[in-house]
Amino acid sequence: MDKRTADTLERMRAATVQLDRLLLELARQGLQRLTRASLPELEAAAQVAHHARLTALQRELLSLRTETERFLDRDPLFRTDAWIDRVGRLSLRVDALRSRLDQGALPDELVDLVGTPRRTYVAVDDALEIHPLGMSGWVTDSDFVGVTTTFYSPTTEQLVMASVTRPTHYFGTDPARLAWQSVSDSITRSMRELAHGAWRVEGARVSHDGRLSLAGEAYVMPVASTGARALDPIRCDDALEVLQRLGDGRIDPLAPRTAPWVYLELAHYGRCTFDDTHGTATVLARDRRGLPLRLRVRLAPHEQLLGRNLERLADPRSRPDGLVARAFADRDHLDLAPVTAVYHQPVTQRVGRRTLHSHMVHLGLEPLDKVER
């Protein structure tokens, strides 16, 4: 073990002791005896976590500091339960870290637990076969526009995501336009092409959380699409199976709360309603067994197309046979955020002067009014 690794491990161990002490002190005095002196303590603990390369803990501590400040400011948005949850998760993470350190884990083996300040991409030895599930566009508050395509990789049996990101100052704020541009200097194919084919990526690099890097020496070659089999890993027969998937992701309190990807064939699409107060568009739908669920999208400026497409889901000319979506459980509703419309028979999609045949239409970036069954 080199000196740098040994030093990092030493700092991690010291940080766990210090964080244990801090959390116990918070618990001992209770919320009603908290003073503003706790805020710099939490900041100092976040600094300690930062120097020990405990990125996830650092972020949790800074969030706890913000929550604590809300409490001290008598902010009506403060929720005691959320504060308790945050302390509980932080404490669990510290315990899990201590346990792994006692087992002799090295810093690189702790990334799933403590996070990493910046993603590292590891080269994949074999060629990576990828099949698209969904493509979506986004615009950040920091003035970046991007397109992300999520793929299923039978090679690793995981979902991987590839993105292109550009500053809005040069590329505008329309992700749909970005989808037509080359992925990188070395890969001349556009993200839209990647999202409508199956590919083998040579020289791929993948991060621990499934981000696929298409920069550098990576290049892609077309392979035969496996059709509906690519959807099998996320296929759900009905809404109850979607709920089951939601439950599967909630067994580990330390696991990141990500909405699961699901593929569901819906039997009925209702009318689209718009909620201007919450900025959402909603369609009430039913699965094959008649179980109700909601299709819901935000009405952000760059997601207007998604809202318009939601209105057209019930149109017989473009009505999809299935949807690839992210699943959420609201208090009384099962919500799906649709990403891709899937058709059993290829549909024609008019793009400019061309007519494409495809089984998938990516709802955030491709208009359904140009689609005909």
Partner 1 sequence: MSATTLLADVRGALRVLWVGGLQRPDPTLPSELADLAIAARALGLDGLGEALTTLQVSLGPEHDAIERFAAQRALWVRSSLLAEQLRLHLLGASLHEEAEGTVAEAPVLPPGRDTELWPLGIEVRDGQLQLHCLDPAGGWVTLEDRPLALDPDDLANEPITSRLFQGEVCLGDVLDGQIELVRHPGVATAARWVGGPAFHTRPRLRSASTAAPALPALPPGARLAVGTGIVTCRRGPDGWVASSGGVPVAVSPLLAFDLDKRTRLDGTDTVRIEGVLVARGDRRVLLSEGEPPVFPTLDPATTRWPLSRWTTPLPPDEAAQLGAMAWPVIGGDRSALAAALAPAATSADLATRWAAQWAGRAIGLPPPDRNPGARAWLGREDAGSAEAVELLRALWLHEQHEPVGATLAGLLREARDAPLDDDDWVEIALRAWLTMRADPDNAVPFLAAHGERLGPGRVLPDAEGLLWVHHAWHVVASGKAELPPLALPRLAAARAALSALPSLDGWRWAAACDALRWLLSPAGA
Residues binding partner 1 (CB under 8 A): 23-24, 27-33, 80-81, 83-85, 87-88, 91-92, 202, 219, 222-229, 239-240, 243, 246-247, 250-251, 253, 265-268, 286-293, 321-322, 329, 331-334, 343-346, 359
Min dist CB 229 to partner 1, Å, is 7
Closest CB to partner 1 among residues 176, 291: 291
Distant-in-sequence, close-in-space partners of 208: CB < 8 Å, separation ≥ 6: 111, 112, 116, 119, 120, 122
Beta pairing, strands 211-213 & 144-153: unpaired
Residues 283 and 339: beta-carbon distance below 8 Å: no
Question: In the structure encoding, which two tokens stand for residue 97, read together?
Answer: 């870290």
- CA 2 to CA 233: how far, in whole Å? 41
Beta pairing, strands 158-167 & 211-213: parallel
Residue 1: burial class (beta carbons within 10 Å; 0-12, 13-18, 19+): exposed
- CA 135 to CA 55: how far, in whole Å? 29
Min dist CB 24 to partner 1, Å, is 6
Closest CB to partner 1 among residues 11, 286: 286
Min dist CB 115 to partner 1, Å, is 21
- CA 68 to CA 70: how far, in whole Å? 5
Min dist CB 129 to partner 1, Å, is 10
Min dist CB 192 to partner 1, Å, is 18
Question: In the structure encoding, which two tokens stand for residue 47, read together?
Answer: 């600094």
Closest CB to partner 1 among residues 119, 344: 344
Closest CB to partner 1 among residues 9, 313: 313
Min dist CB 37 to partner 1, Å, is 15
Closest CB to partner 1 among residues 88, 172: 88
Closest CB to partner 1 among residues 24, 44: 24
